[in-house]
Homo-oligomer: A and B are copies of this chain.
Amino acid sequence: MRTLQLATIGAGRIGSNHAEIVARHIHGVTLAAVTDPVPGTARRLATELGAPTATTDVEEVLGRDDIHGVLITAPARSHTGLVVAAAAAGKHIFVEKPMAVTSADADRAIAAAEQAGVVLQVGFNRRFAPGFAAAHAAVADGRTGTPQLLRSLTRDPGPFTADPARIPQWTIFLETLVHDFDTLCWLNPGATPVSVHATADALVRPDAKADGHLDTAVVTIRFDNGAIATAEASFSALYGYDVRAEVFGSEGMVTAGNGRSTDMTFYGPQGIHVDTARRDTELLRAAYTAELTAFADAVRHKNPALVTGHDARRALSIALAAIRSVETTATVTIAEVTA
C-alpha cells in the first residue's frame, strides 16, 4: 500500500510526542503536516521532524486530499469540534482523550465518524501497554474468573507546578480519571457500569479549591455483573508517573503496572533502589507507539478501531456521574447522566 500521510492538530506536549512517533517509528506512515494555533510552534516541530507542512490553519490541512488522517491532540474542549470537522473532510481520526466532555458531544462525534465512514480511534493508551494488555488477556481468557473487585489509578508526576486557574473545572474526572474509567470497563469485559460514587478534594493545592480546582479523587463504580471498582487519581506524585490496575475475580487476581523505568536495581548504603518513570511519555512509550501503529493499521486494513467512540462515551458517562456525585454527595446512576 502507498504511504499513509498523517497530520497532527496541536503541537503541545502530547502532540509533539505523537508526531515524533508517527514521523520516525511507524513503518509506511509519514508526518505530512503539523498544525498549531500558536505561530511558530508548528514550524519548529515540523522542521525538527522533517514534516513538509506547518500551519496555524486546520482548514488547510483538512482540505488536502493527500492527507489521509489526523491526530487530534489539541486542548480537550476542542476535541469534538475537530472530530466533526475532520470527519466531514473525510479524514481518519485518532483523537486524544477525552473525545468529548458532554454526552451530546460524544454522540455528535460518533455520528460524524460513522456517517463519514472514517476510522475514529480514541487515545486510551493503557490498553496498549504490555502489562495492561497481558492483564486484559488474563481476564478475557477467564483466568481471573468473574471480576469482583477492580482498581485503577492515575498519579501524575509531581511536584504539581501548573496554575490551577488555567485548568478547567472537573479536569480530574474528564481528562485524568477518564483513562481509569475506560480501563475498568475494558478489564470487566461484557459488564456495564451502573452507578457511581465519588469523593474529591484539593489536597495538593488547597488554596485553589475555592475556584473549583480539584486535584485528588476516589471514585467507586458498580457494574451490572456485581463488580465494585475503585478509580483513584492525584495530580502530584513526587515519585513519578504511576498508573496501575488490579482485577480480583472469583478465580484469581491480576495486576499491571509497577512504576519501574527499567529492570536495573541498585543496592547501596541507603538500601535497594529502583528508578521510576517520571513522565507518561517515558512510562508508556511502547503503548503510544502501539496505539498509533494500531490506528495506522486500522486505516490501511480497514479494520474497526480498537478503541472506539462508544468506549469514549462510556468512560465519559462515568466521569459525568462522578461529577454529579461530587456535587450532590449522593450515589449517581449512569442512567441519570446519560438520559
A254 within 8 Å of B (CB atoms) = yes
In the complex, the answer to whether A220 meets B238 with C-beta atoms within 8 Å is: no
In the complex, the answer to whether B216 meets A148 with C-beta atoms within 8 Å is: yes
In the complex, the answer to whether B271 meets A254 with C-beta atoms within 8 Å is: no
CB-CB < 8 A to A336: which residues of B? none
Chain A interface size band reads: 35 or more
If A24-B27, A272-B276 touch, does A252 touch B230 (CB 8 Å cutoff)? Answer: no
A269 within 8 Å of B (CB atoms) = yes
In the complex, the answer to whether A264 meets B220 with C-beta atoms within 8 Å is: no
A55 within 8 Å of B (CB atoms) = no
In the complex, the answer to whether A262 meets B130 with C-beta atoms within 8 Å is: yes
A171 within 8 Å of B (CB atoms) = no
A222 to B198, CA, bound (A): 11
CB-CB < 8 A to A236: which residues of B? 250
Number of copies: 4
CB-CB < 8 A to A257: which residues of B? 263
Name the residue of chain B whose CB is nearest to the CB of A252. Answer: B268
A133 to B134, CA, bound (A): 26
A177 to B84, CA, bound (A): 49
In the complex, the answer to whether A238 meets B273 with C-beta atoms within 8 Å is: no
In the complex, the answer to whether B131 meets A264 with C-beta atoms within 8 Å is: yes
Residues of A in contact with B (beta carbons under 8 Å apart)? 23-25, 27-28, 130-135, 138, 143-146, 148-149, 151, 155, 197, 199, 201, 203-204, 206, 216-218, 220, 222, 226-228, 230, 232, 234, 236-240, 242, 248, 250-276, 329-331
CB<8 Å pairs between A and B, sample of 5:
A138-B264, A148-B204, A151-B232, A203-B227, A271-B276
